[in-house]
Structure 1
Amino acid sequence: MALRTALAMILALAAAGPALADGVLPGKLSADDRQRLETFDSVRGEAIGAARESDDKAAVATLDQILSGKPQAIRGATDLAGTWRCRVAKLGGSDTLPLVIYGWFRCRITDDAAGLRLDKISGSQRTAGTFYDDANADRLTYVGTAYYSYEGKSKPYGSDAERDQVAYLVRVGPDRLRLEFPSPHLESQFDIMELERSR
């Protein structure tokens, strides 16, 4: 009886607590996406270098602001859920257009029994996916898919390799995050989504 009571209490506490990022990346993560994560640092450095060669000095200044802030511990964070404003910087697209920064849109992070999830909920180009714990406590791994607003919703990861996305999420302030996508399939060499808490 005591054991049953203890188990019931543990289950109740687990149900009441926040759902955190899953501890294990899905086994179905493609070889291509694993390779993208493995080359993250080198691709990031090359793309940032190319972007800073842009003739658009205002855009370069904005990129520097986006890149500001030292990553903080994020594993186990319980305050990420909510609505965020988000914008994307595309780096290293071409010699003539090495940096493009889009305007602000809306994103939502949800924290429930399904885990910690991200949805970009405005704009024509969208993303939806799940966060997973990483060996590095200062980041989470994002696995998701890209889709267009007219499609209504995203397809499951793995159903279209050209839409599959992987990224690392870092926290650089109480109300600032960066989601960094290495080697996107379209338009650029490296994408950075900056997220700021909506008030």
Structure 2
Amino acid sequence: MRLVLSVLAVLLLAVPARADGALQSLITPDDKARLEQFDAVKAKALADARAQGAAADVKVLEAALAGTPMAVEGDFDAKGKWKCRTIKMGGGLPLTVYAPFKCAISDDGSGWFLKKTSGSQRTQGRFYTESATRMIYLGAGHIWDEPPRKYGDDLKENQVAVVERLGKNRLVLQFPKPAYESDFDLLVLER
């Protein structure tokens, strides 16, 4: 019995704090549709950005997406401060790379919670487990001088992203069909 309890304790400590199970009851039909288009939208946006973007910006894009998805289980802990860079593809311009801003991930008891804390366009929301190497982010955007929103408060401000850990300390949120300005966005978190 002691062995079983010890094994359970180790397993509980090894799993990072993320919300799970609630995703299907929370995600809107519009955001489900965005995720269904993910691969096609990403492929087109990347092809256009690589073909038409400035060479320096394409280099930043390639570095952001380099690597093989790593496990978000085990000893990985996302909590803490991060530098975060927005990269926008499509819409008016093929590729726009912004300077890094500040983000933070906390655990509020329900799982990992992201806040972009600097820059004019901000987001906050929660991570949900999709697989051992992939999470889904449900968040809401707001402008720096507006009160932050929660996912579902204002449907046009909802945000959905596929999240992959592409380096030891790099998370990449990939937003298909964001509501404003572009066709595909990245929010690259590094520390």
Moved over 3 A (4+): 16-19, 75-78
Which secondary structure does the structure 1 equivalent of 2:46 belong to?
helix
Residue number in structure 1 paired with 2:67: 69
Instruction: Determine the structure 2 residue equivalent to 1:141.
Output: 136
* 1:29 aligns to 2:27 (yes or no): yes
Distance 1:67 1:117 in 2: 22
Aligned to 2:117: 121
- Distance (whole Å) between structure 1 residues aligned to residue 41 and residue 185 of structure 2: 11
State how far apart, in whole Å, the 2-side matches of 1:110 and 1:76 are. 17
Cα contact 1:19–1:111 (8 A) shared by 2: no
Alignment: residue pair count: 183
Question: What's the TM-score, normalizing by structure 2?
Answer: 0.88
What's the counterpart of residue 79 of structure 1? Answer: 77
**Which amino acid is the alignment partner of residue 28 of structure 1?**
L
Q: In 2, are the aligned partners of 1:74 and 1:171 still within 8 Å (CA)?
A: yes
How far did 1:75 drift? Answer: 3.8
Residue in 1 aligned with 2:159? Answer: 165
1:112 deviates by 3.2
- What does residue 49 of structure 1 align with? 47
Residue identity (%): 42
- Write the deviation string for residues 137-175 of structure 1: whole angstroms up to 9, x where unpaired: 2111100100011013x2221121110000011111111
Q: Is the 8 A contact 1:69 1:172 kept in 2?
A: yes
CA distance in 1, matches of 2:14, 2:39: 34
Task: Return the index of the structure with the highest Cα Rg.
Answer: 1
Distance 2:184 2:16 in 1: 30
Offset from partner CA, 1:87-114 (integer Å, 9 cap, x none): 01001123xx210000010000002313
1: CA distance, partners of 2:82 / 2:129 = 21
Distance in 1 (CA, whole Å) between partners of 2:91 and 2:72 is 30
* CA-based RMSD: 2.2
- Structure 2 portions without partners, runs of 5+: 1-7
Decide whether the 8 Å contact of 1:184 with 1:191 is kept in 2: yes
Contact 1:75–1:139 (8 Å) recurs in 2: no
TM-score, normalised on structure 1?
0.84
1:161-192 CA-to-partner distances (Å, cap 9, x unmatched) read 11000001111111111111111010111001
Name the structure 2 match of 1:193: 187
SS of equivalent to 1:53: helix
Closer, same or farther in 2 for the Cα pair 1:55/1:168, shift >3 Å? closer
Contact 1:89 1:101 in 2 (8 A): yes
